[in-house]
Amino acid sequence: MSRYIATAAIRGAHSVVKQAEEMFASAMVAPGPDAKIAFMDKAGGGTAYWLPVVYGFTGQKVEKISDLKKPLDYARSLLPPLPSEHLWLPYLGETLDAGMATLYAEEVIEAIRFARGEQPEKGKNGFVYNGPINDVQMRAWGIQMVDGRMPGFAAVLGAAKNNEVAVKIVRELQSKGQLVFLSSSSKGRSIVDQLLESGVELGYETFTVPFGSDTISTIYALGYASRATFSFGNVTPGDFRRVLLYNKFRCFAFALALGQMDDVKWATGAGAISYGFPAVADTAVPNILPTGITQYEHVVSMPFDDIPGRDDMERAERLVQRCIEVRGIKIKVASIKIPVAYGPAFEGEVVRRADLRAEFGGKNGMCFEWLTMKDPAEVEDGKVTIIGKDLDSYGEGEKIPLAIMMEVAGRKMQKDFEPVLERQVHHFLNGAEGLQHQGQRDITWIRLSKGAFAKGFRLRHIGDILHGTFHNHFGAIVD
């Protein structure tokens, strides 16, 4: 554990707990000890799980202001002292305790804000933040997360380099099926501000939920994760060990911190790591790479301007891809975006000479396919490159030389799997309407029909088919 991170997280935890205690003392006077507490989103939808994080870890039902004393006392009891300047220790346990103390205190703060009528937060130009997600929406999304349609969620904190990068990051997360939670700010700017200025629609319908402009509102993301364990993991509130294990192995979430880190962000991040959720930062921070509390890395630093890429858009793509890798999220391609139909019904289809638009390999032709394993850092997921001319440059029925080269990467991928995956190309390509594939490796023979060409099928769609089908059929080994 980095001493720098531990010190910042513990310092942040002390400040958040102190803020919660001061707010609690004030709230006991007004609105008073019997004032009711209820978490609700901006539309008035609520939750039956009280304060979900406190309820999940302690089993306590917080219904009024006076009930907040117990979780506050527990948060205070978890606070460790700041690390000594001249004594270096592992710090891990103390940092995780500080993280949990922070989460309790943050939920207490938001509860008091609700009792005072200050939540959901009102932003600029009449915009109202969502606040916590209601139970109905949580269950609807939870079903998709359980069956794999929605592989995970991303908690995005702070502000991106500029508005264009902010939009690109969110669009990339959405394209990979991620639910996107937005909170916090950096230098007075929030990613929510950036998205609104760019005309991006936020809300349940677009799977982008703006919690609030401060880091404390990130607690709603952890509350969502806690409620998922009760609803779908058959976990009893108060069984904190099972709450943590369920989230580590079943709830594929991560934090993406944009902009400069501060003590409260580190403290909140330490609480998220306790859940098994890793953090990726787009600034220079210490890395925590060994596995343990999380399945893979704990904290990964990717200074945005140092990410390889031809421009900021490509750097944003690589940043999101790294987040997906760090959490071990398996992407399911819901539908392969090609201009022809796709399915097993077309696997026996024959493209005859009279209907032939293009031919690769076969008698007197040249065609091969080759799959090779690469390091994850060398592979850009979903990238299809055409080297040479596309089909429009060739005449009807012409025999065209073709090489299909596939680069795959995965934490569980092995060199021995290469020929196994390569042999699946025959089945994967034959599923496309108007595409006939025979043979393998250097005896490959492919035919494309006039009908498929007329519908818009081109060489890049071969890559799109292979990308989607390898993810869907071999997601256990191919990332």
Looking at the fold, whether 409 and 279 belong to one and the same domain comes out as no
Query: Whose structure tokens read 């997906």?
Result: 324
| Residue 150 pLDDT class (50, 70, 90 cuts) | confident
In order, the DSSP letters of 442-471 are: GG-EEEEEHHHHHTT--HHHHHHHHHHHHH
| Residue 290 pLDDT class (50, 70, 90 cuts) | confident
Looking at the fold, whether 259 and 350 belong to one and the same domain comes out as no
Classify residue 288 by its DSSP letter.
B
Tell me, what amino acid is at 131?
A: G
Residue 438 placed within a domain: yes
Interacting residues of 95 by C-beta distance below 8 A, sequence separation 6+: 1, 5, 6, 9, 10, 270
Mean pLDDT in residue range 17-42: 97
End-to-end CA distance of the chain, in Å?
27
Closest C-alpha to 288, from 275, 280, 297: 297
Can you give the pLDDT at residue 92? Answer: 87
Which structural domain, as residue segments, surrounds residue 390? 344-473
Can you give the pLDDT at residue 289? Answer: 85
Between the alpha carbon of residue 338 and those of residues 47, 193, 198, 357, 458, the distances in Å are: 42, 35, 29, 17, 9
Looking at the fold, whether 302 and 370 belong to one and the same domain comes out as no
Point out which residues pair with 152 in neighbouring strands: 178
Cβ contact 68:112 at 8 Å: yes
Looking at the fold, whether 30 and 114 belong to one and the same domain comes out as yes
Please tell me the distance from the alpha carbon of residue 476 to that of residue 413, in angstroms, as a whole number: 9
Residue 333 placed within a domain: no
Closest C-alpha to 240, from 447, 74, 15, 458: 74
Cβ contact 66:82 at 8 Å: no
Mean pLDDT in residue range 340-367: 90
Please tell me the distance from the alpha carbon of residue 428 to that of residue 164, in angstroms, as a whole number: 36
Residue 405 placed within a domain: yes
Query: Mean pLDDT across the chain, nearest whole number?
Result: 94
Please tell me the distance from the alpha carbon of residue 115 to that of residue 37, in angstroms, as a whole number: 6
> What CATH number does the domain containing 465 carry?
3.30.1650.10
Looking at the fold, whether 310 and 351 belong to one and the same domain comes out as no
Cis peptide preceding 401, ω within 30 of 0 = no
Mean pLDDT in residue range 182-192: 96
| Residue 146 pLDDT class (50, 70, 90 cuts) | confident
Mean pLDDT in residue range 276-283: 97
Residues 39-97 have pLDDT tens digits of: 999 999 999 999 999 999 999 999 999 999 999 999 999 999 998 877 667 788 999 99
Instruction: Answer yes or no: is pLDDT of 347 > 90.
Output: no
Please tell me the distance from the alpha carbon of residue 409 to that of residue 289, in angstroms, as a whole number: 19
Looking at the fold, whether 295 and 366 belong to one and the same domain comes out as no
| Residue 476 pLDDT class (50, 70, 90 cuts) | confident
Structural domain ending residue among the three candidates 299, 327, 355: 327
Can you give the pLDDT at residue 340? Answer: 92
Interacting residues of 98 by C-beta distance below 8 A, sequence separation 6+: 9, 10, 12, 13, 14, 78, 79, 80, 267, 270
Looking at the fold, whether 310 and 400 belong to one and the same domain comes out as no
Point out which residues pair with 153 in neighbouring strands: 179, 253
Closest C-alpha to 57, from 101, 98, 15: 101
Between the alpha carbon of residue 145 and those of residues 149, 156, 176, 209, the distances in Å are: 6, 18, 13, 16
Tell me, what amino acid is at 147?
A: D
> What CATH number does the domain containing 73 carry?
3.40.50.2030
Residues 454-469 have pLDDT tens digits of: 999 999 999 999 999 9
Query: Per-residue b/e over 363-394, b at no fewer than 16 CB within 10 Å?
Result: eeeebbbebebeeeeebbbbeeeeeeeeeeee
Residues 229-264 have pLDDT tens digits of: 998 988 999 999 999 999 999 999 999 999 999 999
Tell me, what amino acid is at 377?
A: A
| Residue 332 pLDDT class (50, 70, 90 cuts) | confident
Looking at the fold, whether 263 and 383 belong to one and the same domain comes out as no
Residue 13 placed within a domain: yes
Residue 391 placed within a domain: yes
| Residue 419 pLDDT class (50, 70, 90 cuts) | very high
Tell me, what amino acid is at 255?
A: A
Instruction: Answer yes or no: is pLDDT of 34 > 80.
Output: yes
Can you give the pLDDT at residue 334? Answer: 66
Please tell me the distance from the alpha carbon of residue 103 to that of residue 267, in angstroms, as a whole number: 8
Structural domain ending residue among the three candidates 327, 355, 379: 327
Query: Whose structure tokens read 């939808």?
Result: 45
Please tell me the distance from the alpha carbon of residue 169 to that of residue 181, in angstroms, as a whole number: 12
Please tell me the distance from the alpha carbon of residue 102 to that of residue 269, in angstroms, as a whole number: 9
Residue 145 placed within a domain: yes
Structural domain ending residue among the three candidates 264, 294, 327: 327
Cβ contact 374:434 at 8 Å: no
> Residue 475 CB: number of other CB atoms within 10 A?
17
Between the alpha carbon of residue 207 and those of residues 219, 306, 388, the distances in Å are: 18, 29, 39
Interacting residues of 26 by C-beta distance below 8 A, sequence separation 6+: none
> Helices 263-274 and 3-29, interaxial angle, to 10°?
100
Instruction: Answer yes or no: is pLDDT of 144 > 90.
Output: no
Looking at the fold, whether 322 and 354 belong to one and the same domain comes out as no
Could you give the number of structural domains in the chain?
2
Looking at the fold, whether 376 and 270 belong to one and the same domain comes out as no
Which two tokens mark 51?
């304060």
Looking at the fold, whether 397 and 274 belong to one and the same domain comes out as no
Looking at the fold, whether 257 and 380 belong to one and the same domain comes out as no
Closest C-alpha to 103, from 305, 207, 240, 307: 240
Residue 336 placed within a domain: no
Residue 387 placed within a domain: yes
- Above pLDDT 70, what percent of the chain? 99
Instruction: Answer yes or no: is pLDDT of 317 > 70.
Output: yes
Please tell me the distance from the alpha carbon of residue 66 to that of residue 459, in angstroms, as a whole number: 66
